[in-house]
Amino acid sequence: MAWTYALHDLAAAIGVEALKDNPAFSAVSTDSRSMPPKAVFFALSGERFDGNNFVPQAFEKGAVAAVTSRPCEGGPCLVVENVLAALQQFAAWHRRRFDIPIIAITGSCGKTSTKDFTAALLSTRYRVVKTQGNLNNDIGCPLSLLQIDDATEAAIIEMGANHMGEIASLCAIAQPTESMITMVAPSHLEGFGSIANIAKAKGEIAEALPPDGVFYVNADDNWCIRIAEAYEGRKVRVGTQGDVRIEACEFAEDGLLELRIAPVGTLRLPLLCRAHAMNVALAVAVGLEHGIGLRHGECDNPRYYEEPLQAACAKASRFKAVSINNLLILDDSYNANPASMTAALETLSERPASRRFAVLGDMLELGPTAESLHRDMGTLAGELGIDHVYARGEFAQAVVEAAQQAGALDARVIQDHEDMARTVAETAPSNSVVLVKGSRGMQMERVITALQNAPESTSELR
Protein backbone atom coordinates (compact mmCIF):
# COMPACT_ATOMS: atom_id res chain seq x y z
CA MET A 1 0.00 0.00 0.00
CA ALA A 2 1.31 3.46 -0.86
CA TRP A 3 -1.01 5.64 1.19
CA THR A 4 -0.37 7.19 4.59
CA TYR A 5 -2.84 8.42 7.17
CA ALA A 6 -2.60 9.62 10.75
CA LEU A 7 -4.41 7.78 13.54
CA HIS A 8 -6.60 10.88 13.94
CA ASP A 9 -7.80 10.32 10.33
CA LEU A 10 -8.81 6.78 11.20
CA ALA A 11 -10.62 7.93 14.33
CA ALA A 12 -12.61 10.46 12.32
CA ALA A 13 -13.41 7.87 9.62
CA ILE A 14 -14.85 5.38 12.11
CA GLY A 15 -16.52 7.96 14.35
CA VAL A 16 -14.59 7.66 17.61
CA GLU A 17 -12.75 10.20 19.73
CA ALA A 18 -9.14 10.78 18.74
CA LEU A 19 -6.32 9.77 21.07
CA LYS A 20 -3.38 11.90 22.12
CA ASP A 21 -1.18 9.47 20.22
CA ASN A 22 -1.26 10.21 16.51
CA PRO A 23 1.16 7.87 14.73
CA ALA A 24 1.21 7.66 10.95
CA PHE A 25 0.20 4.35 9.38
CA SER A 26 0.25 3.02 5.84
CA ALA A 27 -1.29 -0.45 6.15
CA VAL A 28 -3.89 -2.45 8.04
CA SER A 29 -3.80 -6.06 9.16
CA THR A 30 -6.24 -8.54 10.66
CA ASP A 31 -3.51 -11.12 11.40
CA SER A 32 -1.47 -10.46 14.55
CA ARG A 33 1.14 -13.02 13.46
CA SER A 34 2.33 -11.00 10.47
CA MET A 35 2.21 -7.23 10.64
CA PRO A 36 3.30 -5.08 7.67
CA PRO A 37 5.41 -2.05 8.57
CA LYS A 38 3.46 0.88 10.07
CA ALA A 39 0.22 -1.10 10.27
CA VAL A 40 -2.91 -0.73 12.37
CA PHE A 41 -4.21 -4.03 13.71
CA PHE A 42 -7.98 -4.59 13.50
CA ALA A 43 -8.83 -7.09 16.24
CA LEU A 44 -11.62 -9.01 14.51
CA SER A 45 -13.46 -11.62 16.55
CA GLY A 46 -15.45 -14.69 15.56
CA GLU A 47 -17.44 -17.50 17.11
CA ARG A 48 -14.29 -19.29 18.27
CA PHE A 49 -11.79 -16.50 18.85
CA ASP A 50 -11.51 -13.03 20.36
CA GLY A 51 -9.19 -10.76 18.38
CA ASN A 52 -8.65 -8.59 21.44
CA ASN A 53 -6.60 -11.40 22.96
CA PHE A 54 -4.04 -11.01 20.16
CA VAL A 55 -3.51 -7.26 20.49
CA PRO A 56 -0.33 -7.58 22.61
CA GLN A 57 1.12 -9.94 20.01
CA ALA A 58 0.27 -7.45 17.24
CA PHE A 59 2.13 -4.69 19.08
CA GLU A 60 5.09 -7.01 19.61
CA LYS A 61 5.10 -7.60 15.84
CA GLY A 62 5.28 -3.84 15.20
CA ALA A 63 1.70 -2.57 15.02
CA VAL A 64 1.55 1.20 15.57
CA ALA A 65 -2.04 1.08 16.86
CA ALA A 66 -5.04 -1.21 17.13
CA VAL A 67 -8.80 -1.05 16.70
CA THR A 68 -10.39 -3.13 19.45
CA SER A 69 -13.74 -3.76 21.12
CA ARG A 70 -12.34 -3.30 24.63
CA PRO A 71 -9.33 -1.53 26.14
CA CYS A 72 -6.12 -3.48 25.55
CA GLU A 73 -2.50 -3.02 26.57
CA GLY A 74 0.59 -2.61 24.44
CA GLY A 75 -0.08 0.57 22.50
CA PRO A 76 -2.71 3.09 21.38
CA CYS A 77 -6.14 1.50 20.86
CA LEU A 78 -9.26 2.95 19.28
CA VAL A 79 -12.11 1.19 21.08
CA VAL A 80 -15.27 0.59 19.03
CA GLU A 81 -18.43 -1.42 19.46
CA ASN A 82 -17.87 -3.52 16.33
CA VAL A 83 -14.37 -3.93 14.89
CA LEU A 84 -15.57 -5.39 11.59
CA ALA A 85 -17.94 -2.47 11.08
CA ALA A 86 -15.04 -0.11 11.80
CA LEU A 87 -12.89 -1.83 9.17
CA GLN A 88 -15.71 -1.48 6.66
CA GLN A 89 -16.27 2.19 7.56
CA PHE A 90 -12.59 2.94 7.11
CA ALA A 91 -12.48 1.13 3.75
CA ALA A 92 -15.55 3.06 2.53
CA TRP A 93 -13.98 6.35 3.69
CA HIS A 94 -10.74 5.43 1.91
CA ARG A 95 -12.53 4.41 -1.30
CA ARG A 96 -14.32 7.78 -1.51
CA ARG A 97 -10.97 9.51 -1.93
CA PHE A 98 -10.49 7.98 -5.39
CA ASP A 99 -12.37 8.85 -8.56
CA ILE A 100 -11.64 5.64 -10.45
CA PRO A 101 -13.70 2.85 -12.02
CA ILE A 102 -14.71 0.25 -9.44
CA ILE A 103 -15.99 -2.89 -11.18
CA ALA A 104 -17.98 -5.24 -8.92
CA ILE A 105 -18.46 -8.89 -9.91
CA THR A 106 -20.79 -11.49 -8.42
CA GLY A 107 -22.50 -14.67 -9.67
CA SER A 108 -23.32 -18.22 -8.73
CA CYS A 109 -20.32 -19.52 -10.68
CA GLY A 110 -17.32 -18.03 -12.42
CA LYS A 111 -16.87 -14.79 -10.51
CA THR A 112 -13.25 -15.42 -9.50
CA SER A 113 -12.23 -16.46 -13.02
CA THR A 114 -14.07 -13.50 -14.54
CA LYS A 115 -12.41 -11.16 -12.07
CA ASP A 116 -8.97 -12.48 -13.02
CA PHE A 117 -9.69 -12.34 -16.77
CA THR A 118 -10.95 -8.77 -16.43
CA ALA A 119 -7.92 -7.72 -14.41
CA ALA A 120 -5.57 -9.26 -16.98
CA LEU A 121 -7.13 -7.22 -19.78
CA LEU A 122 -7.36 -3.92 -17.93
CA SER A 123 -3.81 -4.32 -16.64
CA THR A 124 -2.51 -3.96 -20.19
CA ARG A 125 -3.48 -0.28 -19.98
CA TYR A 126 -4.14 0.62 -16.33
CA ARG A 127 -2.73 0.12 -12.85
CA VAL A 128 -5.29 -2.32 -11.47
CA VAL A 129 -6.16 -3.51 -7.97
CA LYS A 130 -8.20 -6.70 -7.72
CA THR A 131 -9.60 -8.96 -5.02
CA GLN A 132 -6.92 -11.46 -4.06
CA GLY A 133 -8.00 -15.08 -4.47
CA ASN A 134 -11.64 -15.36 -3.50
CA LEU A 135 -11.57 -12.98 -0.52
CA ASN A 136 -15.01 -11.75 -1.49
CA ASN A 137 -16.85 -11.44 1.83
CA ASP A 138 -17.43 -8.71 4.40
CA ILE A 139 -13.77 -8.88 5.44
CA GLY A 140 -12.14 -9.48 2.06
CA CYS A 141 -14.00 -6.66 0.32
CA PRO A 142 -12.75 -3.85 2.61
CA LEU A 143 -9.23 -5.30 2.64
CA SER A 144 -9.26 -5.32 -1.17
CA LEU A 145 -10.41 -1.69 -1.31
CA LEU A 146 -7.59 -0.70 1.05
CA GLN A 147 -5.11 -1.85 -1.60
CA ILE A 148 -6.13 1.18 -3.69
CA ASP A 149 -3.60 4.01 -3.67
CA ASP A 150 -2.78 7.12 -5.68
CA ALA A 151 -1.28 5.02 -8.49
CA THR A 152 -4.40 2.87 -8.90
CA GLU A 153 -6.45 3.54 -12.02
CA ALA A 154 -9.12 0.84 -11.68
CA ALA A 155 -10.24 -1.74 -9.14
CA ILE A 156 -12.05 -5.04 -9.64
CA ILE A 157 -13.87 -6.27 -6.56
CA GLU A 158 -15.38 -9.74 -6.30
CA MET A 159 -18.47 -10.11 -4.11
CA GLY A 160 -19.90 -13.33 -2.72
CA ALA A 161 -23.08 -13.83 -0.75
CA ASN A 162 -25.03 -16.53 1.06
CA HIS A 163 -27.88 -14.41 2.39
CA MET A 164 -30.07 -11.49 1.35
CA GLY A 165 -28.62 -8.01 1.72
CA GLU A 166 -24.99 -9.10 1.72
CA ILE A 167 -24.21 -7.78 -1.77
CA ALA A 168 -25.95 -4.51 -0.94
CA SER A 169 -23.77 -4.14 2.16
CA LEU A 170 -20.60 -4.80 0.17
CA CYS A 171 -21.67 -2.32 -2.49
CA ALA A 172 -22.28 0.31 0.17
CA ILE A 173 -18.60 -0.05 1.06
CA ALA A 174 -17.19 -0.35 -2.49
CA GLN A 175 -19.57 2.05 -4.27
CA PRO A 176 -19.07 0.39 -7.68
CA THR A 177 -19.30 2.35 -10.91
CA GLU A 178 -19.74 -0.79 -13.03
CA SER A 179 -20.93 -4.29 -12.20
CA MET A 180 -21.88 -7.69 -13.56
CA ILE A 181 -23.49 -10.97 -12.59
CA THR A 182 -21.78 -13.95 -14.24
CA MET A 183 -24.86 -16.18 -13.87
CA VAL A 184 -27.72 -17.02 -11.51
CA ALA A 185 -28.01 -20.69 -10.53
CA PRO A 186 -28.88 -22.85 -7.49
CA SER A 187 -26.23 -22.16 -4.82
CA HIS A 188 -26.43 -21.52 -1.07
CA LEU A 189 -30.10 -22.46 -1.21
CA GLU A 190 -30.09 -23.08 2.54
CA GLY A 191 -29.56 -19.37 3.03
CA PHE A 192 -31.64 -18.06 0.13
CA GLY A 193 -34.51 -20.55 -0.03
CA SER A 194 -35.13 -20.30 -3.78
CA ILE A 195 -33.43 -19.39 -7.01
CA ALA A 196 -35.72 -16.34 -7.24
CA ASN A 197 -34.22 -15.12 -3.98
CA ILE A 198 -30.73 -15.81 -5.30
CA ALA A 199 -31.52 -13.61 -8.29
CA LYS A 200 -32.89 -10.91 -6.03
CA ALA A 201 -29.74 -11.02 -3.88
CA LYS A 202 -27.41 -10.92 -6.87
CA GLY A 203 -29.48 -8.09 -8.34
CA GLU A 204 -28.39 -5.86 -5.48
CA ILE A 205 -25.15 -5.34 -7.41
CA ALA A 206 -27.09 -3.58 -10.20
CA GLU A 207 -29.30 -1.63 -7.81
CA ALA A 208 -26.17 -0.13 -6.22
CA LEU A 209 -24.91 1.41 -9.47
CA PRO A 210 -25.13 5.16 -10.04
CA PRO A 211 -27.30 6.47 -12.92
CA ASP A 212 -24.18 6.87 -15.08
CA GLY A 213 -22.88 3.39 -14.26
CA VAL A 214 -22.49 0.37 -16.54
CA PHE A 215 -24.11 -3.02 -16.02
CA TYR A 216 -22.71 -5.96 -18.02
CA VAL A 217 -25.57 -8.38 -18.71
CA ASN A 218 -25.28 -12.12 -19.26
CA ALA A 219 -27.85 -12.08 -22.05
CA ASP A 220 -28.01 -15.89 -22.08
CA ASP A 221 -29.32 -16.00 -18.51
CA ASN A 222 -33.00 -15.15 -18.05
CA TRP A 223 -32.52 -14.08 -14.45
CA CYS A 224 -29.76 -11.67 -15.45
CA ILE A 225 -31.97 -10.27 -18.20
CA ARG A 226 -34.74 -9.60 -15.68
CA ILE A 227 -32.30 -7.89 -13.33
CA ALA A 228 -31.01 -5.72 -16.18
CA GLU A 229 -34.52 -4.62 -17.11
CA ALA A 230 -34.82 -2.87 -13.75
CA TYR A 231 -31.60 -0.91 -14.19
CA GLU A 232 -32.07 2.34 -16.09
CA GLY A 233 -28.41 3.10 -16.74
CA ARG A 234 -26.11 1.90 -19.51
CA LYS A 235 -26.23 -1.83 -20.23
CA VAL A 236 -23.78 -3.94 -22.25
CA ARG A 237 -25.32 -7.24 -23.30
CA VAL A 238 -23.01 -10.25 -23.57
CA GLY A 239 -23.80 -13.71 -24.92
CA THR A 240 -24.83 -15.53 -28.07
CA GLN A 241 -26.85 -12.41 -28.81
CA GLY A 242 -25.92 -8.90 -27.74
CA ASP A 243 -23.33 -6.15 -27.96
CA VAL A 244 -20.48 -8.58 -27.31
CA ARG A 245 -21.31 -11.89 -28.95
CA ILE A 246 -20.02 -15.43 -28.50
CA GLU A 247 -20.20 -16.65 -32.09
CA ALA A 248 -18.29 -19.94 -31.71
CA CYS A 249 -16.87 -22.07 -28.91
CA GLU A 250 -14.98 -25.22 -29.91
CA PHE A 251 -11.97 -27.23 -28.80
CA ALA A 252 -9.18 -27.33 -31.37
CA GLU A 253 -7.12 -30.43 -32.09
CA ASP A 254 -4.33 -29.11 -29.87
CA GLY A 255 -6.76 -28.91 -26.93
CA LEU A 256 -7.07 -25.14 -26.84
CA LEU A 257 -10.53 -23.61 -26.54
CA GLU A 258 -11.23 -21.47 -29.59
CA LEU A 259 -13.66 -18.64 -28.87
CA ARG A 260 -14.88 -16.33 -31.59
CA ILE A 261 -16.14 -13.22 -29.84
CA ALA A 262 -17.44 -10.29 -31.85
CA PRO A 263 -16.23 -7.62 -32.26
CA VAL A 264 -12.78 -8.87 -31.14
CA GLY A 265 -12.21 -12.03 -33.19
CA THR A 266 -10.96 -15.53 -32.41
CA LEU A 267 -9.18 -16.18 -29.12
CA ARG A 268 -7.32 -19.45 -28.54
CA LEU A 269 -7.09 -20.09 -24.81
CA PRO A 270 -5.83 -22.94 -22.59
CA LEU A 271 -9.17 -23.57 -20.87
CA LEU A 272 -10.68 -26.98 -20.16
CA CYS A 273 -14.31 -25.99 -19.88
CA ARG A 274 -16.72 -24.41 -22.39
CA ALA A 275 -18.51 -22.72 -19.49
CA HIS A 276 -15.62 -20.27 -19.32
CA ALA A 277 -16.78 -18.75 -22.63
CA MET A 278 -19.18 -16.42 -20.82
CA ASN A 279 -16.56 -15.48 -18.23
CA VAL A 280 -14.11 -14.56 -21.00
CA ALA A 281 -16.78 -12.67 -22.96
CA LEU A 282 -17.77 -10.61 -19.92
CA ALA A 283 -14.13 -9.69 -19.37
CA VAL A 284 -13.82 -8.79 -23.06
CA ALA A 285 -16.88 -6.54 -22.71
CA VAL A 286 -15.17 -4.64 -19.89
CA GLY A 287 -12.01 -4.39 -21.96
CA LEU A 288 -13.91 -2.93 -24.89
CA GLU A 289 -15.73 -0.48 -22.63
CA HIS A 290 -12.34 0.77 -21.43
CA GLY A 291 -10.75 0.98 -24.86
CA ILE A 292 -8.44 -2.03 -24.76
CA GLY A 293 -7.07 -2.67 -28.26
CA LEU A 294 -9.32 -0.11 -29.91
CA ARG A 295 -8.30 2.16 -32.74
CA HIS A 296 -10.89 4.44 -34.29
CA GLY A 297 -13.56 2.61 -32.31
CA GLU A 298 -12.65 -0.83 -33.68
CA CYS A 299 -10.56 -3.67 -32.26
CA ASP A 300 -7.92 -4.12 -34.93
CA ASN A 301 -6.12 -7.15 -33.48
CA PRO A 302 -7.47 -9.96 -31.25
CA ARG A 303 -3.97 -10.43 -29.81
CA TYR A 304 -4.60 -7.41 -27.59
CA TYR A 305 -7.03 -9.76 -25.83
CA GLU A 306 -5.59 -13.20 -26.49
CA GLU A 307 -2.14 -12.68 -25.01
CA PRO A 308 -3.17 -11.31 -21.59
CA LEU A 309 -6.00 -13.83 -21.35
CA GLN A 310 -3.65 -16.71 -22.14
CA ALA A 311 -1.37 -15.58 -19.35
CA ALA A 312 -4.31 -15.33 -16.95
CA CYS A 313 -5.87 -18.70 -17.74
CA ALA A 314 -3.49 -20.81 -15.66
CA LYS A 315 -4.13 -18.62 -12.63
CA ALA A 316 -7.78 -17.82 -13.24
CA SER A 317 -9.29 -21.28 -13.55
CA ARG A 318 -9.44 -23.68 -10.61
CA PHE A 319 -10.28 -26.44 -13.11
CA LYS A 320 -6.87 -28.10 -13.65
CA ALA A 321 -5.66 -31.12 -15.60
CA VAL A 322 -2.83 -33.21 -14.19
CA SER A 323 -1.41 -36.57 -15.28
CA ILE A 324 -1.06 -39.24 -12.58
CA ASN A 325 0.05 -42.79 -13.41
CA ASN A 326 -1.16 -42.67 -17.04
CA LEU A 327 -4.48 -41.17 -15.99
CA LEU A 328 -5.64 -37.65 -16.80
CA ILE A 329 -7.11 -36.12 -13.65
CA LEU A 330 -9.51 -33.21 -14.05
CA ASP A 331 -9.14 -31.49 -10.70
CA ASP A 332 -12.21 -29.38 -10.01
CA SER A 333 -12.20 -30.23 -6.33
CA TYR A 334 -12.31 -26.67 -5.00
CA ASN A 335 -16.10 -26.32 -4.82
CA ALA A 336 -19.36 -27.38 -6.43
CA ASN A 337 -22.95 -26.40 -7.10
CA PRO A 338 -25.36 -27.74 -9.73
CA ALA A 339 -24.23 -25.31 -12.44
CA SER A 340 -20.51 -25.94 -12.00
CA MET A 341 -21.11 -29.70 -11.63
CA THR A 342 -23.04 -29.73 -14.91
CA ALA A 343 -20.22 -27.90 -16.68
CA ALA A 344 -17.62 -30.27 -15.22
CA LEU A 345 -19.51 -33.42 -16.26
CA GLU A 346 -19.98 -32.02 -19.76
CA THR A 347 -16.26 -31.31 -19.94
CA LEU A 348 -15.48 -34.87 -18.82
CA SER A 349 -17.80 -36.29 -21.48
CA GLU A 350 -15.93 -34.40 -24.22
CA ARG A 351 -12.45 -35.62 -23.33
CA PRO A 352 -11.04 -38.48 -25.47
CA ALA A 353 -10.56 -41.40 -23.09
CA SER A 354 -10.48 -45.17 -22.80
CA ARG A 355 -12.84 -44.79 -19.82
CA ARG A 356 -14.34 -41.80 -18.02
CA PHE A 357 -14.68 -41.62 -14.24
CA ALA A 358 -16.71 -39.10 -12.24
CA VAL A 359 -15.51 -39.10 -8.62
CA LEU A 360 -17.98 -36.85 -6.83
CA GLY A 361 -18.62 -35.42 -3.40
CA ASP A 362 -21.86 -33.83 -2.25
CA MET A 363 -22.87 -30.33 -3.30
CA LEU A 364 -23.53 -28.59 0.00
CA GLU A 365 -25.93 -25.87 1.18
CA LEU A 366 -28.74 -26.81 -1.22
CA GLY A 367 -31.49 -27.03 1.38
CA PRO A 368 -34.66 -29.09 0.80
CA THR A 369 -33.91 -29.49 -2.91
CA ALA A 370 -30.57 -31.20 -2.29
CA GLU A 371 -31.63 -34.79 -2.96
CA SER A 372 -33.45 -33.88 -6.17
CA LEU A 373 -30.49 -31.83 -7.44
CA HIS A 374 -28.09 -34.67 -6.69
CA ARG A 375 -30.32 -37.10 -8.57
CA ASP A 376 -30.22 -34.70 -11.52
CA MET A 377 -26.42 -34.86 -11.50
CA GLY A 378 -26.44 -38.66 -11.43
CA THR A 379 -28.90 -38.71 -14.33
CA LEU A 380 -26.76 -36.27 -16.29
CA ALA A 381 -23.63 -38.37 -15.73
CA GLY A 382 -25.36 -41.45 -17.09
CA GLU A 383 -26.87 -39.63 -20.05
CA LEU A 384 -23.49 -38.14 -20.95
CA GLY A 385 -22.00 -41.62 -21.14
CA ILE A 386 -19.77 -41.37 -18.07
CA ASP A 387 -18.64 -44.99 -17.55
CA HIS A 388 -17.90 -44.92 -13.81
CA VAL A 389 -19.62 -42.77 -11.18
CA TYR A 390 -18.27 -42.93 -7.63
CA ALA A 391 -19.99 -40.74 -5.03
CA ARG A 392 -19.55 -39.90 -1.36
CA GLY A 393 -21.63 -37.88 1.07
CA GLU A 394 -25.17 -37.76 2.41
CA PHE A 395 -26.69 -37.82 -1.09
CA ALA A 396 -24.28 -40.28 -2.69
CA GLN A 397 -26.94 -42.98 -2.95
CA ALA A 398 -29.23 -40.63 -4.87
CA VAL A 399 -26.43 -39.85 -7.33
CA VAL A 400 -25.56 -43.52 -7.81
CA GLU A 401 -29.14 -44.74 -8.27
CA ALA A 402 -29.85 -42.03 -10.86
CA ALA A 403 -26.60 -42.74 -12.72
CA GLN A 404 -27.40 -46.48 -12.86
CA GLN A 405 -30.89 -45.78 -14.18
CA ALA A 406 -29.43 -43.49 -16.84
CA GLY A 407 -27.01 -46.12 -18.11
CA ALA A 408 -23.70 -45.73 -16.23
CA LEU A 409 -21.71 -48.97 -16.44
CA ASP A 410 -20.39 -48.78 -12.89
CA ALA A 411 -21.90 -46.57 -10.18
CA ARG A 412 -20.99 -46.99 -6.51
CA VAL A 413 -21.20 -45.26 -3.15
CA ILE A 414 -17.68 -45.01 -1.74
CA GLN A 415 -17.53 -42.89 1.40
CA ASP A 416 -13.78 -42.98 2.09
CA HIS A 417 -11.40 -40.75 0.07
CA GLU A 418 -8.64 -43.33 0.04
CA ASP A 419 -11.04 -46.10 -1.00
CA MET A 420 -12.21 -43.89 -3.86
CA ALA A 421 -8.63 -43.41 -5.05
CA ARG A 422 -7.84 -47.10 -4.63
CA THR A 423 -10.89 -48.11 -6.65
CA VAL A 424 -9.95 -45.74 -9.46
CA ALA A 425 -6.34 -46.96 -9.46
CA GLU A 426 -7.44 -50.59 -9.58
CA THR A 427 -10.19 -50.06 -12.17
CA ALA A 428 -9.03 -47.38 -14.59
CA PRO A 429 -7.11 -48.50 -17.67
CA SER A 430 -4.37 -46.28 -19.04
CA ASN A 431 -5.57 -43.13 -20.80
CA SER A 432 -8.68 -42.88 -18.66
CA VAL A 433 -9.93 -39.44 -17.63
CA VAL A 434 -10.99 -38.91 -14.02
CA LEU A 435 -13.04 -35.91 -12.85
CA VAL A 436 -12.76 -35.15 -9.13
CA LYS A 437 -15.32 -32.63 -7.86
CA GLY A 438 -17.34 -31.72 -4.78
CA SER A 439 -18.09 -28.88 -2.42
CA ARG A 440 -15.27 -27.46 -0.33
CA GLY A 441 -16.44 -29.24 2.80
CA MET A 442 -16.16 -32.65 1.09
CA GLN A 443 -12.36 -32.33 0.82
CA MET A 444 -12.24 -34.10 -2.53
CA GLU A 445 -8.64 -32.98 -3.05
CA ARG A 446 -7.76 -35.83 -0.70
CA VAL A 447 -8.73 -38.27 -3.47
CA ILE A 448 -6.17 -36.69 -5.77
CA THR A 449 -3.47 -36.85 -3.08
CA ALA A 450 -4.25 -40.53 -2.55
CA LEU A 451 -4.10 -41.16 -6.31
CA GLN A 452 -0.66 -39.56 -6.42
CA ASN A 453 0.46 -42.04 -3.78
CA ALA A 454 -1.23 -45.06 -5.38
CA PRO A 455 0.65 -47.59 -7.55
CA GLU A 456 0.20 -47.31 -11.31
CA SER A 457 -2.97 -48.90 -12.60
CA THR A 458 -2.62 -52.36 -14.09
CA SER A 459 -6.22 -52.56 -15.28
CA GLU A 460 -6.79 -53.61 -18.88
CA LEU A 461 -9.70 -52.25 -20.89
CA ARG A 462 -12.12 -55.08 -21.52
Q: Using one digit for the tens of pLDDT, what is the confidence trace for 139-177?
A: 999 999 999 999 999 999 999 988 899 999 999 999 999
Q: How far apart are CA 31 and CA 54, in angstroms?
A: 9
Are residues 360 and 274 part of one domain? Answer: no
- pTM of this prediction? 0.89
pLDDT of residue 454: 76
Q: Which residue type is seen at 457?
A: S
What distance in Å separates the CA atoms of residue 87 and residue 43, rounded to the nearest whole number? 10
Please tell me whether residues 131 and 19 are part of one structural domain: no
Q: Domain holding 56: CATH number? A: 3.40.1390.10
Q: What is the reported pLDDT for 296?
A: 57
Please indicate, yes or no, if residue 458 is contained in any of the structural domains: no
Q: How far apart are CA 17 and CA 348, in angstroms?
A: 59
Which range of residues forms the domain containing residue 69?
A: 5-82
Pair 52, 162 in one domain: no
pLDDT of residue 298: 66
Q: Is 411 a member of any domain?
A: yes
Q: So what's the pLDDT on residue 456?
A: 64
Q: Are residues 303 and 362 in the same domain?
A: no
Residues in Cβ contact with 20 at an 8 Å cutoff, skipping those fewer than 6 apart: none
Q: Looking at the structure, do residues 257 and 359 belong to the same domain, yes or no?
A: no
Domain of residue 272, CATH code: 3.40.1190.10
pLDDT, position 189: 72
290 shares a domain with 153: yes
Cα-based distances in Å from 376 to 4, 383, 444 = 54, 10, 20
Asked if 161 and 301 sit in the same domain, the reply is yes
CATH code assigned at 437: 3.90.190.20
Domain boundary among 316, 348, 381: 316
Residue 73 lies in a domain: yes
Mean pLDDT by 10 residues, the chain (462 residues): 91 96 96 94 92 96 97 96 97 98 95 95 96 90 96 97 92 98 85 87 96 97 96 96 96 92 94 93 97 74 90 78 93 92 95 95 93 97 97 98 96 97 94 96 96 67 38
* 199 and 211 inside one domain: yes
Residue 438 lies in a domain: yes
CB-CB contact of 235 with 282 (8 Å)? no
- H runs (alpha helix) in 240-302: 276-289
Task: Please give the tally of structural domains in the chain.
Answer: 3
In a domain, 93, yes or no: no
* Residue 312, pLDDT score: 93
324 in the same domain as 312: no
Identify whether 278 is part of a domain.
yes
Please indicate, yes or no, whether residues 124 and 194 belong to a single structural domain of this protein.
yes
